[in-house]
Homo-oligomer: A and B are copies of this chain.
């Protein structure tokens, strides 16, 4: 069996070819993938059955949770979504080769900045087999190679989907080597050492796992850590909006990173707002952990008291911590100190408060009168999501195909040398903005 290193070398080699693949050829390959996935449903469902059987045994032994088991399951509906996802990626504009900027350095010396794929992406994800078609299609469209490692619980399903997709590729037009599946847990540690061949690691998993990756590789990491999100109800707020948003942000799907963990309420709004939202949470079985002041208001609902640790805890569950703050400044400070710079929302009808919150909350998504649950690649109109980055480098927040792209500079000259531009009688740079693309410049050659 091939080592991870051998696979990475193959992927690296293929990355130069796929980086220059024609848009039509890439789209044709994607359309074919969608078709074959439809035709080979049985193979996927059969493989998934094996994983589900093993999963059930693991569940009985306490090895996995029922929510992991649930995410593992693939049915015809989910295959339909996978097919739709690939078709959507085929429809996205091909970003590769686009001229981002062009400038004349001097007469006849032209600089073009063009979008390029990053190269080789290492993707490690949890047991959701739908990540396989999503990432393969995004990598193909953006001209990147990818090494994929999924959760061991879905190994048979992942492998079936991977093989169906990659087997459908005509190797003469797209290099199959661009797509590599890793199967063993040790393969991840091995992969993290291959900074010579892998350009970016994208881990999608628990916080502990993302931190482990960050601490054990020289390769840049694009990953999200915690999702400690907040809703803040200001002094002047609209009750209907505030109740709906605070409820949706916690209850609509509590297991995800863009659900809120803490509700902050201005002291002048607390007496009126907290009993209403508290009751609504209680009716939805949300456990409530209160600061000293809010405890006094909500103790009739059998709430408990929050500890310092609660302010920096991602529950991912039907639990919420509540804190009363003296001012919007206090709210913003709390969010910047305890939050994870992911997504936070303010409920206010006061323009100055809204602007202050939007400017000073240091998170990748900051919202006004909207649910934090909107922070998502699909909802943000990206077509498909690579991940949600809580880092502040390269890509921030919900990240689509743009996270897999970088650029290169192409300088077209006629024999110019730097010596002519230094010292006495130095020529001067014109630095004149051009409106031509690299393609147009090539034609004039």
In the complex the two chains form, what is the Cα distance from A363 to B114 in whole Å? 12
A183 interface hit (Cβ, 8 Å):
no
Please provide the chain A residues from 231 to 266 with a CB less than 8 Å away from any CB of chain B in the complex: 238, 240-242, 244-245, 247-249, 252-253
Q: Are B218 and A419 closer than 8 Å at their CB atoms? A: no
For the complex, is A365 an interface residue (Cβ under 8 Å from B)?
yes
| A367 near B410: Cβ-Cβ < 8 Å | yes
B381 in contact with A411 (CB, 8 Å): no
The answer for the CA separation of A408 and B249 in the assembled complex, in Å, is 20
- Which chain B residues lie closer than 8 Å to A109 at the CB level? 370, 374
A380 B419 Cβ-Cβ under 8 A: no
Task: Give the interface SS of chain A, mostly helix, strand, loop or mixed.
Answer: mixed
Whether B392 contacts A119 by the Cβ 8 Å rule is yes
Most buried by B among A214, A240, A359: A359
Contact B199 A416 (CB under 8 A): no
Interface contact A118-B406, CB-CB below 8 Å? no
Interface digits, A382-403 against B, CB 8 Å rule (1 contact, 0 not)? 0000000001111011100000
Residues of A within 8 A of B (CB): 16, 19-20, 103, 105, 109, 111, 118-119, 199-200, 211, 214-215, 218, 220-222, 238, 240-242, 244-245, 247-249, 252-253, 336, 345, 351, 354-355, 358-360, 362-371, 373-375, 379-381, 391-394, 396-398, 406-419, 421-422, 429, 431, 442, 445
Q: Given known contacts A103-B380, A374-B413, A374-B418, what 20 new A-B pairs fall within 8 Å (CB)?
A: A20-B360, A119-B392, A200-B393, A242-B415, A244-B415, A249-B417, A345-B411, A364-B408, A366-B410, A367-B410, A368-B412, A369-B414, A370-B416, A371-B418, A374-B411, A381-B429, A381-B431, A394-B406, A396-B406, A397-B407
* A–B pairs, 16, beta carbons within 8 Å: A119-B362, A211-B218, A220-B221, A244-B415, A245-B413, A351-B445, A354-B445, A355-B442, A368-B411, A369-B415, A371-B416, A373-B418, A374-B416, A379-B429, A393-B394, A396-B408
